[in-house]
Amino acid sequence: MRFEKLEENKIRITLSQEDLVKKDIDFHSFMSNSLESQDLFFDMLEEAEKEIGFVTKDYLIRIEALALAGGDFVLTVTRTLPEKAKNSLRKKVHIRRKRASTEESQVVYSFANFDDFCSFITFFKDHYGKASNLAQKVLLYEYHNTYYLVLSEINLSFPNVKRLFSCIPEFAVFVSHSKVFTAKLAESGTLVLKHNAIQHGMKYFV
């Protein structure tokens, strides 16, 4: 685990794949804002205070979680001193999930396993029905035991497209630098579904 001070009130915590395994961190439970995930955040903040002197007592804390293409997990922690500082040991944590803009031409989402992808397409089928007009290309790749959904040339007139993209992070993690990573997937990944992965997934796996 690596701690970096970005600004006076902002730090970055980077967890490698080894750290994730060691701490038994699962992406979905980690971002669920449960009591267990908050306890883990507090442990990290205490370690950040020891490592780089980043004190968070009496501050409001915002944490932005982001999964990188290489498998690392990055937390950006911002502290804000409230008008009336409270002497409470426990802090309110607000997790802001990184999500794609619906105006991007291409986006990539990472699913921890195939079951998570199936849960997503089941949700999609129940709430939106068909996905034939969602995007020009909808591909599913497997890379290092993780599944990646690639959507290219998204149809902005698709019904409830904004609501849809606000729901995907419940099942998957948005991958930044999608164009670069898509090239990596095409080169080194295994193409699992190449003909509208969501539509065909609903047909064969739901």
Q: Are residues 37 and 83 in the same domain?
A: yes
Q: Which two tokens stand for residue 141?
A: 């790749």
- Could you say which of 97, 120, 138 is where a domain stops? 97
151 contact partners, CB below 8 Å, separation of at least 6: 106, 107, 108, 134, 135, 137, 138
Residue 197, pLDDT score: 92
| Residue 55: both structure tokens together | 């004190």
Domain end (from 51, 80, 97): 97
Can you give the CATH number for the domain in which 110 is found? Answer: 3.30.70.1950
The pLDDT score that the predictor gives to residue 153 is 85
Mean pLDDT within 58-87: 75
Instruction: Please tell me whether residues 27 and 89 are part of one structural domain.
Output: yes
Burial of 98 (0-12, 13-18, 19+ CB in 10 A): middle
The answer on pLDDT for 201 being more than 80 is yes
Read off the pLDDT band of 205 (50, 70, 90): confident
Are residue 92 and residue 123 in the same domain, yes or no? no
pLDDT at 104 over 70: no
Answering whether pTM is above 0.75, one says no
Please determine, for residue 7, whether its predicted confidence score (pLDDT) is greater than 70.
yes
- The tokens describing 17, both together, are 């794949």
Boundaries of domain holding 198: 106-205
| Percentage of the residues of the chain whose pLDDT score is greater than 70 | 78
Are residues 93 and 127 both part of a single domain? Answer: no
Residue 32 shares a structural domain with residue 91: yes
Of 97, 128, 163, the position where a domain reaches its end is 97
Once rounded to an integer, what is the mean pLDDT over residues 34-61? 81
pLDDT at 195: 82
Flag the least confident range among 80-84, 118-122, 141-145, 185-189: 80-84
Q: Alpha-carbon distance 152 to 36, whole Å?
A: 36
Residue 203 pLDDT level (bands cut at 50, 70, 90): confident
When pLDDT is averaged across residues 51-79 and rounded to a whole number, the result is 82
φ and ψ of 130, to 5 deg: -80, 155
Whether 114 and 195 map to the same domain: the answer is yes
Q: Within this chain, do residues 111 and 62 fall inside the same structural domain, yes or no? A: no
| Rounded Cα gap, residues 130 and 198, in angstroms | 9
Q: Are residues 8 and 71 in the same domain?
A: yes
Does 117 lie in the same domain as 64?
no
Query: How far apart are alpha carbons 84 and 77 in whole angstroms?
Result: 21
Provide the number of structural domains found in the chain: 2
Asked if residue 72 lies in contact with residue 37, where contact means CB atoms within 8 angstroms, the answer is: no
3 state SS of 53:
coil
| Token representation of residue 138 | 């909808």
Same domain, 91 and 111: no
Question: How far apart are the C-alpha atoms of 167 and 99, rounded to whole Å?
Answer: 10
How many helices (H) does the chain have, and how many strands (E)?
7, 10
